[in-house]
Structure 1
């Protein structure tokens, strides 16, 4: 049986013929047909509310316990919603077998008008379904910005906690920038720790991680300073570096450097990121700053040499590696780099000499 009710054309097949007709009319918002069906259900007993409330989906998987008000909310049948809530006085927060209210389905189907109506007529904006998710969680997960804004404007609690975190955790883990911005504008707790993760950590660990979203979470200077003091940004940068996500690592190190531009280690780490991304000029710029701050640190010389190698300045690279080896004579890595630089310099000079010799022969031949 098909449990779908999606815009714009919906067809129900969730039970007997009468149930299907009632739910179809509710979903379509066809009030005359819906009222006529309610009269048929009531059979002249004068209890239409009881008749319609007794009509529920049974054994239909996802829609078990579904009611006519759920169908109207899901399909955007606003006129039917009004009739059920205002005339028949049906419970606006009636739940299905999974604890989902009609408002849940209005939000899920992006029926803003229906959602507003339900909220204006007493629907609980903080209702939690049996899986522990609030309405705001659902809206945030689907990046439904209008619904997120609507729920918060109606007083929904911005930081409800589910097993996987708050709505901000959900939005951050999916890279939903617009939803994150709204949640933060309503003072969502960007330091909220759930299962050992803050929204910032959720954003950096996401498959669809967005640097824009990450920067949104670290834009506040007092927060960034706290992150640095606890090793947060640096730790995240190093973790990204180990995962070879050099672009993300460079972003973290850049944020840290904005607050502490004199940190030679951060400059060295970012220089390495630029180097791995093939940005020789940026790598050299950071390496030069690093050496200026710590002229006696062999690593700063090594970073300079590596950047110059990328830029094919083998003579300059040899000089920097030699400086580093003088500071740390037993450093095998720098020694190997110096040997490679000198080999490249010799090859380069030999190639240039051959090119020059060839040019000279060509010119002599013309003469």
Structure 2
């Protein structure tokens, strides 16, 4: 009879053991065999620092997790980017797994490249997971990536249930970090009426200007033509001396009479109020820097943030560019890549297709779409996109030779 095969050193190209694979698929009996009969390490790490527990938590395999815990697994081992099993469970909305991990005393607020588990739960609108995390003393004001407080994240992801839970937990509705906007500014900019009302009722200050543009929520609402939001904000906003007619109609009329479009309206107000905001809130005077120079600065800062894997911050700067130049396809390509690095395939695909609509013959646009589809396991769609990318590249080479 042949001798028993030693599986302890057997790993795939990514450094995963057989136990990693069994745990990810929820194969409890296989896990038992591999641990008890073959002696595989329950805390074995892959090349990226992933443990069997990491995979089981990501896939919501509760029985396997219980077994691994019984065998002495460390449920809080982070991978090379700081991601813990709790991050994975929170991101995927596995509420029972989150409860199980927290019952083992794992840290509730570990930070990886995307933030704390709380932010990940908010990003997917997993209100029940968020509730459990808050009940276990997760910090409702934990700031991730220097920009996104949990409340701001809820506005960004348009999760009304989550923002209500955060406010009930005592979250600071005015918390923001340079260069990010306040939650109220984000809600106004995106036209989220319910969020605006909720934030104001919770004590949000409508008089805080953006650090980069120097405008307040009321100005943005008026510039966007949102009379309903202007009416909501007006009673709580301090009068701006440079606006001659301090009334709902007067503010809207002033904005739209002096500018061609809403985005120029924001620029007009910034120029008008630069003396008020530049000394304390801005690093340089906007009216002394051309629009082209400002866009170049934002792109440069976005590139720097991306290089530091600070993807939310990078997208913030790219968004500033689109407010001035909404037809820059390269920005949407960059957005797509940021979302892909954050493992959000839907958003990555959405931004890639915006890019493709603007520049249908640009090879990078097709490449971004292919990368997003590949991440989402749509291999047929990805192959088609990559094929079109190659065709676009070949076409450009031919045109250059003519």
TM-score normalised to the size of structure 2? Answer: 0.50
Question: Given the alignment of the two structures, is residue 53 of structure 1 paired with residue 8 of structure 2, yes or no?
Answer: yes
- Distance in 1 of aligned mates of 2:21 and 2:232: 62
Counterpart among 42, 51, 54 of residue 92 in structure 1: 42
Against the structure 1 CA distance between its residues 166 and 53, is the aligned structure 2 distance closer, same or farther, given a 3 Å change threshold? same
Partner of 2:163: 214
Whether the aligned pair in 2 keeps the contact of 1:233 and 1:256 (CA below 8 Å) is: no
2:192 to 230, 237, 247: 247
- Picking from 280, 284, 302, the partner of 2:247 is 302
2:132 matches 1:170: no
Q: Is the 8 A contact 2:43 2:52 kept in 1?
A: yes
What CA distance in whole angstroms lies between the structure 2 residues aligned with 1:264 and 1:52?
64
1:195 to 1:106, Cα distance in 2 relative to 1, 3 A: closer
Q: Is the 8 A contact 2:148 2:180 kept in 1?
A: no
Aligned to 1:35: none
SS at match of 1:52: coil
Please list the CA deviations of residues 21-67 of structure 1 after superposition, one character each: whole Å capped at 9, or x if unmatched. xxxxxxxxxxxxxxxxxx8452xxxxx6xx1213x2343xxxx3222
> How many residues matched?
251
From 254, 263, 273, the counterpart of 1:333: 254
Taking the aligned partners of 1:214 and 1:181, their CA distance within structure 2 comes to: 11
8 Å Cα contact 1:272-1:303 kept in structure 2: no
Q: 1:40 to 1:66 in 2, by over 3 A?
A: farther
| Distance change >3 Å, CA 112–CA 204, structure 1 → 2 | closer
Give structure 1 stretches of 5+ with no counterpart. 1-38, 43-47, 308-331, 338-367
TM-superposed deviation, 1:234: 9.0
Q: How does 1:138-153 map to 2 (within 5 A)?
A: 138-153=88-103
Distance 1:298 1:202, change over 3 A: closer
**In the alignment, which residue of structure 2 is the partner of 1:29?**
none
- Kept in 2, the 8 Å contact 1:70–1:105? The answer is yes
2:129 and 2:54 mapped to 1: Cα distance? 17
* 1:193 alignment partner, one of 135, 139, 143: 143
Q: Which residue of 2 aligns with 1:237?
A: 184
1:94-109 matches, cutoff 5 A: 94-109=44-59
Q: Is the 8 A contact 1:92 1:102 kept in 2?
A: yes
Indicate the residue corresponding to 2:20 in structure 1.
70
Q: CA deviation at 1:259?
A: 4.3
Please state how far the C-alpha of 1:188 moved relative to its aligned partner.
0.8
Q: Which residue of structure 2 lines up, in the alignment, with residue 21 of structure 1? A: none
Conserved 8 A contact 2:176-2:183:
no
Question: Which of 26, 33, 39 is matched with 1:83 structurally?
Answer: 33
Residues in 2 aligned to 1:89 and 1:161: alpha-carbon distance in whole angstroms: 32
CA separation of 1:236/1:86 partners in 2, compared to 1, >3 Å: closer, same or farther? same
- Work out whether residues 57 and 65 of structure 2, in 8 Å CA contact, stay in contact via their aligned partners in 1: yes
Instruction: Pick closer, same or farther for the CA change 1:102–1:188 going to 2, 3 Å.
Output: same
C-alpha deviation, 1:135, in angstroms? 1.1
Q: Provide the alpha-carbon RMSD of the alignment.
A: 4.4
Residues 235, 101 of structure 1: alpha-carbon distance in 2 compared, 3 angstrom cutoff: closer
Other-structure match for 1:7: none
> 2:84 & 2:76 partners in 1: Cα distance?
6
Residue 122 of structure 1: how far off its partner (Å): 0.7
1:5 matched residue in structure 2: none
Which one has the largest radius of gyration? 1
1:157 partner SS: coil
> Paired residue for 2:200, among 241, 245, 256?
256
Structure 2: how far apart are the matches of 1:336 and 1:105? Answer: 58
* Partner SS for 2:163: helix
Q: Deviations over 1:207-237 (max 9, x none)?
A: x33122223222245x447x37999999332
Q: Counterparts in 2 of 1:218-367, with a 5 A limit?
A: 218-221=167-170, 223-224=171-172, 227=174, 235-241=182-188, 244-247=189-192, 251-259=195-203, 269=218, 276=225, 279=228, 302-303=247-248, 333=254
In the superposition, the TM-score normalised over structure 1's length comes to 0.54
